[in-house]
Chain A
Amino acid sequence: MSSKLRDKYLLYRIQTKRDAQAYGELYDTYVAGIYRFISFKVSSKEEAQDLTSETFLRAWHYLLESRDVASFSALLYRIARNLVIDHYRSRRATVSLDEQLEIDIDENTSPTDKGEQIKMLDINLEASAVATAMKQLKEEYRDILTLRYIEELSTAEIAEIVDKTSVHVRVLLHRATNALKALLEKNEI
């Protein structure tokens, strides 16, 4: 059974029979993606976990109240995105970039392990640079880049999440990519 058909069937069971087990199956499918999406936007793991739990709880209540759910994944990402916005409105969380960049290399490790550690350090530094640059982008650009390249959603699904047309999303994607590239080049200097 294709994933979309399976999701529709589970949604049907949830909306007609209030089947909690069916909702558990949907949770298993989408929880990792939602957690990753939220963790990219918040500073701590605990906040990401709390917001992820809240996302699924709110999605459950939405399913019971509404009949028209075209895409459950789009619904989840939409709720997660709104929760993060509300989270930053209620609290003023700050991100310590210096903490993220602190990497210790153990002097007692073997040369091969040290090579691996340096390689990982390289990757982490590069990732940190990209992450830093993405956090400097405006919220809309950041969300679209995250949903497209990290969550690997289609432009149609992203359009449903951000409430825009597919054409508009493609244009925003192009602009966001260019903006990130410009920032990365600027930061390199």
Chain B
Amino acid sequence: MHSKHYLKKMKFNDVTQSIRMLKGTEHAATPDTQWLSSNRSRLLTHIDRTTEEMPTRVFTLVHLWSALSLIMPQRTVYAVVRPAFIFVLCFGLGTAGWITTVSASLESLPGDALYGVKLATEHTQVAVVEAVQGKRASTELRLTFVSRRVDEVGKLVAAGTADNSAKQERVNQAVENLKSEVRGVSDNLNEVKASNPMDAVHVAQAIDRKVDVIQLSLISTNATTSSTEASAVIAQLKQESGAAATSTSSMNGGAPSSTPAAASSPNSTATSTTAATTSSTKIIAPLTRGVLETPLEQPIVPKKELIPERPTELGPDVVDVSAPISIQMRD
């Protein structure tokens, strides 16, 4: 009877308040304090008995993610940080692998598996140097690559192999690469001439310095007739550089830079069949000693007519201060 009476008195406006009221009653009771402490010690004892000891601490990535989860949301750690870490790791491994491949490709020759990598690396180098340091630096770099192409031709010719046709094919490919590289240098020179004539002089001088060595290197490889065209292209490049240097210098009124024609005719020596057992670098040194010691530029000597000679007789307007002065007194 009491229950109905009090239920009627009850207000239902705030149902939520009624629910909150249950807290602390027997329906949603607080635990007994004694039971709490005894249960706690029972729980921890059970954990100590049943849990295996942690093995010797080995730091793993799981610990890293767990530690990071302390300072940032766990979802961020597993959805952003961990994938980014994996990406950086893969990128680093890929880069290291590429560097290793490039290093291994440095000694490769036309026809080898890694030769493409070597060429790709050189093209990349040229592009980067040109972007950072300009055409002049990239031309010098290309000249270095021309030397490499010549070395490759020499190595292929010197390589002993039973299959002559395959060897000849590789040599031809190497010569084609050489020609292509020389044409690239020539194109560079023309571009520099068009854009910056002053730089063209320096580029031409750099070409002059190296092209003779390259010519001699090619000669020393004892390549077959297919290298004749290569020698011709190199000779043409030499002429272009000489012309570029001359025309630019004459425009500026300076002394032309002369290049002694130390290289022998490419046509006669390219077809030489004498055996060469030493490498091209050993042959170049004695041959080019005389060439390299010859200054490429003659020192600028002022012409005599430009320096006026001291007159033997002084003119009427000139006073000879070296002679004693005679003073005549007037009467």
Identify which of A51-59, A78-86, A109-117, A154-162 touches chain B: A51-59
CA distance A27 to B42 in the complex (A): 12
Q: How many residues of B are counted as interface, with CB atoms below 8 angstroms from the partner's CB atoms?
A: 47
Do the beta carbons of A130 and B21 come within 8 Å of each other? yes
Instruction: With A16-B63, A36-B30, A150-B22 as known contacts, state yes or no: A53 contacts B70, CB within 8 Å.
Output: no
Which chain B residues numbered 270 to 287 have a C-beta less than 8 Å away from chain A? none
Instruction: With A32-B30, A100-B26 as known contacts, state yes or no: A129 contacts B43, CB within 8 Å.
Output: no
Instruction: With A126-B10, A188-B7 as known contacts, state yes or no: A12 contacts B66, CB within 8 Å.
Output: yes
A31 to chain B, nearest CB (A): 6
Task: Check if A167 is an interface residue, CB within 8 A of chain B.
Answer: no
Instruction: Output the nearest chain B residue to A131 by Cβ-Cβ distance.
Output: B27
Which chain B residues numbered 227 to 252 have a C-beta less than 8 Å away from chain A? none
Task: Check if A62 is an interface residue, CB within 8 A of chain B.
Answer: no
Task: Check if B194 is an interface residue, CB within 8 A of chain A.
Answer: no
Cβ contact of B47, chosen from A20, A28, A100, cutoff 8 A: A20
Do the beta carbons of B40 and A24 come within 8 Å of each other? yes
Q: What is the 8 Å Cβ interface bit string for chain A, positions 41-75, against chain B (1 contact, 0 not)? A: 00001001100110011001000100110100000
Do the beta carbons of A127 and B22 come within 8 Å of each other? yes
Do the beta carbons of A149 and B29 come within 8 Å of each other? no
Contacts of B10 in A (CB 8 A): 125-126, 129, 184, 188
A154 to chain B, nearest CB (A): 15
Cβ contact of B43, chosen from A12, A57, A184, cutoff 8 A: A57
Known: A40-B22, A123-B25, A125-B3. 15 other contacts (CB 8 A): A17-B54, A20-B48, A23-B47, A27-B43, A32-B31, A32-B36, A37-B28, A53-B43, A125-B7, A126-B21, A127-B25, A127-B27, A128-B3, A146-B19, A184-B18
A-B contacts, 29 of them at CB < 8 A, read A8-B69, A8-B70, A12-B66, A15-B66, A16-B54, A16-B66, A17-B54, A21-B44, A24-B43, A31-B39, A32-B31, A36-B29, A39-B27, A40-B22, A40-B28, A48-B31, A49-B31, A56-B43, A57-B43, A67-B65, A67-B66, A100-B27, A125-B10, A128-B3, A130-B19, A146-B19, A146-B28, A149-B20, A177-B16
